[in-house]
C-alpha cells in the first residue's frame, strides 16, 4: 500500500470517518468496520502512558488496513533491539532494551478529534492512521526528541512519516500519510 498524500487520497484509501448527519462526530458504522485493536508481534509488551503511570495494553486501535504495516514495523524494531544485544538475549532482555528507550509506550492510535494545529480539519488519528509514542517525553511543541533516528527510520521504511517537521513539531507522532 502506498502512503496517501492529502485528504482526498487519505479518504480514498481509508474511507470517510465522519458521520454525514453529524459533521463533528464519527460514523459508528465506519468505526466498527475499520478500527481494530491490533496486537503487537510475539515478544512485545506495549504500555499506555496514562496520567497515573504505565498501563499494560494488549494492542493499539488503528485502521485495519495498517495492521500488516504496524506488525512489520514492530518486527523490525524488535530485530533492531535483538541485534544490539548478545546473540543469546532472552525475550525479557529484548523487552527491557525496548522499555529503557520507551519505544514500547504509546499515547494511542485511533482517536476521533480535530487536528491540534488546525481545528478546521481532522487529525490523522481520526482515521486510525497515526500513533503517538512516548508522549510524556516527546510532547507536541518540542523540537527535541528522545526517540532515536533508527526508530524513525524504521517507520519511514514502511511508509510512515513523523511530526518532527510539522510547523509545531510533534515528535511523538507517526502517521501513514503525507500532506495533511
Ligand atoms: Zn499524534
Over residues 39-48, the pLDDT tens digits come to: 999 999 999 9
Q: What span, in angstroms and rounded, lies between the C-alpha atoms of 179 and 95?
A: 34
Report every protein residue that has its C-beta within 5 angstroms of ion ligand 1.
130, 132, 173
**d(CA 119, ligand 1 centre) in Å:** 14
Distance from Cα 94 to the centre of ligand 1, integer Å: 26
| Size of the chain, expressed as the number of residues it contains | 180
- Distance between CA 24 and CA 112 in Å, rounded? 9
Report which of 84, 32, 23, 34 is spatially closest to residue 62, judged by C-alpha positions.
Answer: 34
The CA 9 to ligand 1 mean position distance, Å, reads 19
pTM for the full predicted model: 0.96
Distance 125 CA to ligand 1 centre (A): 6
Q: In this predicted model, what pLDDT tens digit does every residue of 113-148 receive, in sequence order?
A: 878 777 788 999 999 999 999 999 999 999 899 999
| Per-residue cell: 20 | 454525514
Q: Is the dihedral of CA 83, 88, 93, 94 positive or negative?
A: positive
User: Ligand 1 centre and the CA of 131: distance in Å?
Assistant: 6
Ligand 1 centre from 105 Cα, in Å?
A: 13
C-alpha of residue 168 to centroid of ligand 1, in Å? 12
Please, is 29 exposed, middle or buried when counting C-beta atoms within 10 Å of its C-beta (0-12, 13-18, 19+)?
Answer: exposed
pLDDT, one tens digit per residue, over 1-48 is: 999 999 999 999 999 999 999 888 999 999 999 999 999 999 999 999
pLDDT, one tens digit per residue, over 92-118 is 999 999 999 999 999 999 999 878 777
Ligand 1 centroid to 82 CA: how many Å? 27
Amino acid at each position: 500500500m502506498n502512503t496517501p498524500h492529502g485528504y482526498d487520497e487519505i479518504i480514498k484509501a481509508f474511507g470517510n470517518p465522519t458521520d454525514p448527519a453529524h459533521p463533528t462526530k464519527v460514523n459508528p458504522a465506519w468505526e466498527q468496520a475499520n478500527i481494530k485493536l491490533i496486537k503487537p508481534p510475539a515478544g512485545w509488551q506495549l504500555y499506555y502512558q496514562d496520567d497515573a503511570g504505565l498501563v499494560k495494553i494488549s494492542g493499539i486501535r488503528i485502521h485495519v488496513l495498517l495492521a500488516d504495516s504496524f506488525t512489520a514495523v514492530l518486527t523490525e524494531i524488535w530485530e533492531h533491539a535483538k541485534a544490539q544485544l548478545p546473540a543469546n538475549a532472552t525475550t525479557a532482555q529484548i523487552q527491557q532494551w525496548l522499555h529503557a528507550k520507551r519505544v514500547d509506550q504509546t499515547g494511542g492510535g485511533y482517536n476521533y478529534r480535530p487536528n491540534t494545529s488546525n481545528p478546521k480539519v481532522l487529525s490523522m488519528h481520526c482515521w486510525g492512521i497515526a500513533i503517538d509514542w512516548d508522549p510524556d517525553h516527546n510532547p507536541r511543541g518540542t523540537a527535541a526528541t528522545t526517540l532515536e533516528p533508527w526508530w524513525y527510520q524504521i517507520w519511514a521504511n514502511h511508509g510512515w512519516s513523523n511530526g518532527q517537521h510539522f510547523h509545531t513539531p510533534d515528535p511523538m507522532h507517526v502517521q501513514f500519510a503525507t500532506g495533511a
